[in-house]
């Protein structure tokens, strides 16, 4: 089995050649340890986030990291899905109204898909009524709301309130993600869970879908 510590370091260093070489070896070996590879990639993304916060990396590096994570997930996803025998369910994902940031959303989307979850991605700056309509139309039982700006908290609450008004709140689990989210804000918004870690968020949604 591949040593995925090397993969984590390569991802954190934004070394595309090294990342893809390790994943090529993973593919050639039949995909053994694909789930561990996914965790390693996310750990590498955590390194990227730390370097960005310290000023070592810039926005362009975050964009590149998101693209690299998407490419890596495209390799890993079929290996995990192949092991599990198919998808485990579907969910709706969006960045809420008033927020146009999509790097974090796109990273977690790649991780969801690699885990075998079908993602209905509504994009960014999505109004509460559009999210309600998507949940109603698709019949999903899981909704992930993302936001980077503090104002996103208000939009998240408006979205949850709109779901309640539509009679859909009790039929869907809601998770929040993004820089301003805290346990207190999760309670204020009325969501079921929150996470600042994409890997943890995937684990939470996975458990909801298979329970």
pLDDT tens digits, 110-142:
778 877 899 999 999 999 999 999 999 999 999
**DSSP type of residue 170:** G
Give residue 111's pLDDT. Answer: 79
Give residue 63's pLDDT. Answer: 86
Task: Determine the 3-state secondary structure of 117 from DSSP.
Answer: strand
pLDDT tens digits, 2-39:
578 999 999 999 999 999 999 999 999 888 888 788 88
Q: Cα torsion for 165, 193, 171, 207, to the nearest 10°? A: 170
Give residue 2's pLDDT. Answer: 59
Give residue 73's pLDDT. Answer: 84
What is the spatial distance between Cα 122 and Cα 155, in angstroms, rounded to a whole number?
A: 15
Q: What is the residue whose two structure tokens read 């804000």?
A: 185
How many C-beta atoms lie closer than 10 Å to residue 122's C-beta? 20
Both tokens of residue 96? 């809420």
More confident residue, 87 or 6: 6
**Residue 189 · residue 157 · CB < 8 Å:** yes
Query: Nearest to residue 40, comparing CAs of 61, 15, 14, 12?
Result: 12
What is the spatial distance between Cα 52 and Cα 56, in angstroms, rounded to a whole number?
A: 6
Fold category of 89-210 in CATH: Rossmann fold (3.40.50)
**DSSP type of residue 169:** G
Both tokens of residue 83? 């092991």
More confident residue, 91 or 104: 91
Both tokens of residue 59? 């926005």
Quote the mean pLDDT of the chain.
Answer: 90
CATH of 5-84, one of 1.10.150.120, 3.10.20.30, 2.60.120.590, 1.10.1240.10: 1.10.1240.10
Listed by start position, the domains of the chain span: 5-84, 89-210
The H or E element spanning position 118 is strand 117-121
Both tokens of residue 152? 């996103």
Answer yes or no: is pLDDT of 1 > 50.
Answer: no
Give residue 82's pLDDT. Answer: 52
CA atoms within a 13 Å half-sphere pointing along the CA-CB vector of 1: 8
pLDDT tens digits, 171-193:
999 999 998 999 999 999 999 99
Give residue 7's pLDDT. Answer: 96
The H or E element spanning position 95 is strand 89-95
**Residue 65 · residue 52 · CB < 8 Å:** no
pLDDT-derived band of residue 152, with 50, 70 and 90 as boundaries? Answer: very high
Give residue 115's pLDDT. Answer: 79
Give residue 81's pLDDT. Answer: 59
Give residue 112's pLDDT. Answer: 86
More confident residue, 161 or 83: 161
pLDDT tens digits, 58-70:
989 988 998 898 8
What is the spatial distance between Cα 197 and Cα 48, in angstroms, rounded to a whole number?
A: 13
In 54-194, alpha helices (H)? 59-84, 103-114, 128-138, 152-165, 183-189
Q: Note the Cα 65 to chain centre separation in Å.
A: 14
**Residue 204 · residue 194 · CB < 8 Å:** no
pLDDT-derived band of residue 210, with 50, 70 and 90 as boundaries? Answer: very high
């Amino acid at each position: 089995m591949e040593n995925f510590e090397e993969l984590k370091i390569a991802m954190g260093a934004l070394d595309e050649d090294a990342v893809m070489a390790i994943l090529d070896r993973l593919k050639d070996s039949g995909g053994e340890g694909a789930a561990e590879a996914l965790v390693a990639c996310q750990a590498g993304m955590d390194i990227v986030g730390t370097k960005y916060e310290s000023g070592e990396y810039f926005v362009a590096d975050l964009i590149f990291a998101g693209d690299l994570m998407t490419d890596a997930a495209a390799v890993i996803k079929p290996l995990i899905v192949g092991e599990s025998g198919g998808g485990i369910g579907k969910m709706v994902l969006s960045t809420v109204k008033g927020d146009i940031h999509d790097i974090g959303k796109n990273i977690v989307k790649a991780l969801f898909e690699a885990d075998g979850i079908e993602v209905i991605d509504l994009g960014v700056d999505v109004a509460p009524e559009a999210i309600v309509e998507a949940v109603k139309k698709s019949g999903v039982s899981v909704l992930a709301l993302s936001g980077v700006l503090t104002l996103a908290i208000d939009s998240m609450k408006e979205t949850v309130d709109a779901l309640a008004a539509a009679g859909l709140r009790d039929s869907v689990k809601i998770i929040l993600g993004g820089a301003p989210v805290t346990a207190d804000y999760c309670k204020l918004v009325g969501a079921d869970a929150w996470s600042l870690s994409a890997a943890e968020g995937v684990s939470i949604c996975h458990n909801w879908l298979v329970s």
